[in-house]
Structure 1
C-alpha cells in the first residue's frame, strides 16, 4: 500500500477487486495530486471523481486507463463527490467528447450556478468571511493575489443528475450507497461499497490533513456543525477501507474519523480559552493558535492558507456561539466574541 509521497506515483493502482486508484496532477496546488477511482463494470467504467481539466491530468488519466486496456470512451458514468475544480471540471470536459453521464450532489447547485455566471470574483464569499472575521487587510492581500493569478478556463456546466438524500447506485456488478456528507462543501457526497468494505471518501475524510470546511463560492449554513454531524454519521457505519481524494489509502475509516473529531473538539476548546483570554475576533483568535502539523504561527503561512485558517477559526467560533459557550455580536460588519458570564 502506498505511503508518504508514493501515493502520487502515476498509474492505475489496484485497491480492491475491480477498483483502481489513479492519482492525477493538480496545477500549482500544494496538494499536488487528486485520486480518481476507476471501478470496472460489465457495462464499462464508473469513475469516482474526475480530476482537474488541465492537459497534464488528461494525459495521466488516459495513460492509466490505457494500462488497464481502456480509453476515455469506456467511461460511462462519473460519480463526483463535490464541485471543487480538481474533482468536477475534467468530467465536464470529457462529457463534451463522449457524452458520459455526471452525477453531483444537489447541495452544490448554488455554487455551480454562481461559477457558471462567469463572475470575476470567484473568492467573493471567503473574502467577505475574512472581512467579517476582522481580517480586512488579509482580504485585500488575497484579492490582489487571486486577481493577478492566471486561472485556467473551466466550463461550469450542470451535471446530468443531481443527487439528493441517501440512495443506491446500481452497477452491473456491485451496488454503491451514495451518502450526503455536507461540510467540506454543502453538497459533498461519499460513496460506500458495503459488500467490498470500501468508502470513496472524496475530501470528507483525508488521511494526512484536516479537510477545509465551507470553502465554496456560495457560503453555506453552519458548515462546521454539518461537517461534524456528517463525520459522526460515517463513524456509525461499519468500518471500511478509506479511499480518499488526497493521500494514500487508509485501512480504517473509523480511526481517521475519530482523529478528526478529536482535532475539532480540541480546536473548539482552544478557541474558547482564547476568547476567555481576551481575543475578540476570529482573526485575533487565529493569531493565538498553531497551524498545520508543523505548528506554525498564522503569519508564517502563505496568504491563501491564512485565509483558510482565519475563516475556519470563524466557523469554530460560530459553533461555540451556537453551543452557548461564547457570545457573538456584530459591530461595523465585524463579528466579535466574548465569554459567557
Structure 2
C-alpha cells in the first residue's frame, strides 16, 4: 500500500492501482473533503480520466505534474468520463476540453441540472427554494448569495459532448460497464471493471464518509430512495476493490455498501424519533436534533455550507419516511412533519 493509501490519501502523485491505471489526487479549495481522486487509464497513446477535478489553478498544476510523473501531459488526455456534475468533478474536465480538445462524458441523468446551470441559473436557486420550505430562511439567503447576480453561470459550466446511459465503454484495451446510480445526484454513474475487480465509485460509495444526498442544481423528489436502490444494484455485482472519488482506495465494495445501508437505517430511526419528540417540526428543526459527521457534532457546530447539506439531507430522510407512510407532511409553504399514528 502506498503512503497515500495508508492515510495521507490527498498527497499529490500518481499512485498505481493496476497496470496502466493510476490514482491522481487533486486539491480542492475551501472544502472539508481536502482532495478528489482522478483516475488515469491508458488509452492508446494517451490517457483517459475518470473524473476531472475542480477547475482551480492549483488542481490543474497538480494534475499536470502527476501526469508528467507517468510520462504524460494534459494534452495527452483523450477524454474525461465524469461520474457526476458536481463542481469538484466536472469543471476541470471542461477546462481540459477547452484547452486540449478532450471530450467530456457524463451520465444522462445530469441533463436537467447541467441544462439549468448553463442556460438559466442561478446555480443554487432550487436549493434556496427548498431551504425556505424546510424552515431555514437564513440558509436560503446564504445559498442565494453564492450566485453572483452579474454572472450566475460560471465559464467552467458547459454541456458535455456525450450523455452516457447504461452500457459499455472501451478505454484502451479495457471494457468498462457503465451503471446508472442515482442518489447522490440524479445522473451519477459508476464504472465497473469486472475482469480486474475494480469499481470506480465516484461519490456514490465513499470509504470514510456517507455521501451527501440530494444536493444538486435540479433536485429529485426522492433522492434517498434512489440512493438506496442504487446501492442495492451495485451490491448484487461481484465484490470489487473500491476506487472512490474521495478517500483511500483500499476498501471493498460489498462491506462498505453494507455499512452505508446500516447508517441510513439508523438515521431514519433517529429522524423519526426526532419528529416524535418535536410533535410537529420543520426539516431544519429536525436537523438541529440530530448529530452530524463521524465526530457527532451538533448542528450549531457546522459551518453554513454544511448546515445547508444537513438540512437538505434531513429533508431527504423525511421524504423517505413520508414515502414509507411513517411520517406525514403538511402542504404549507413551510412544510411541517409529524409522526403518523
TM-score interval, smaller chain: over 0.9
Q: Is the 8 A contact 2:190 2:200 kept in 1?
A: yes
Q: Which runs of 5+ in 2 are unaligned?
A: none
Say if 1:26 and 1:35 are closer, same or farther in 2 by CA, change over 3 A: same
Q: Tell me, in whole angstroms, the C-alpha distance in 2 between the residues paired with 1:314 and 1:116.
A: 26
Say if 1:285 and 1:190 are closer, same or farther in 2 by CA, change over 3 A: same
Q: Which runs of 5+ in 1 are unaligned?
A: none
1:303 aligned residue: 304
1:193 aligned residue: 193
- Give the alignment of 1:1-341 within 5 angstroms: 1=1, 2-3=4-5, 5-117=7-119, 119=121, 121-144=122-145, 153-164=154-165, 166-277=166-277, 278-331=279-332, 333-341=333-341
Q: 1:258 aligns to what SS in structure 2? A: helix
Q: Tell me, in whole angstroms, the C-alpha distance in 2 between the residues paired with 1:152 and 1:10.
A: 30
Q: 2:32 aligns to what SS in structure 1? A: coil
Q: Tell me, in whole angstroms, the C-alpha distance in 1 between the residues paired with 2:219 and 2:143.
A: 18
Q: Is the 8 A contact 2:92 2:156 kept in 1?
A: no
Count of residues in correspondence between the two structures: 337
Q: Is the 8 A contact 2:43 2:78 kept in 1?
A: no
Q: Tell me, in whole angstroms, the C-alpha distance in 1 between the residues paired with 2:208 and 2:138.
A: 31
Q: Is the 8 A contact 2:207 2:251 kept in 1?
A: no
Q: Is the 8 A contact 1:101 1:160 kept in 2?
A: yes
Cα drift, residue 142 of structure 1: 4.3
Q: 1:8 aligns to what SS in structure 2? A: coil
Q: Is the 8 A contact 1:184 1:203 kept in 2?
A: yes
Q: Tell me, in whole angstroms, the C-alpha distance in 2 between the residues paired with 1:334 and 1:89.
A: 34
With normalisation by structure 1, the TM-score equals 0.94
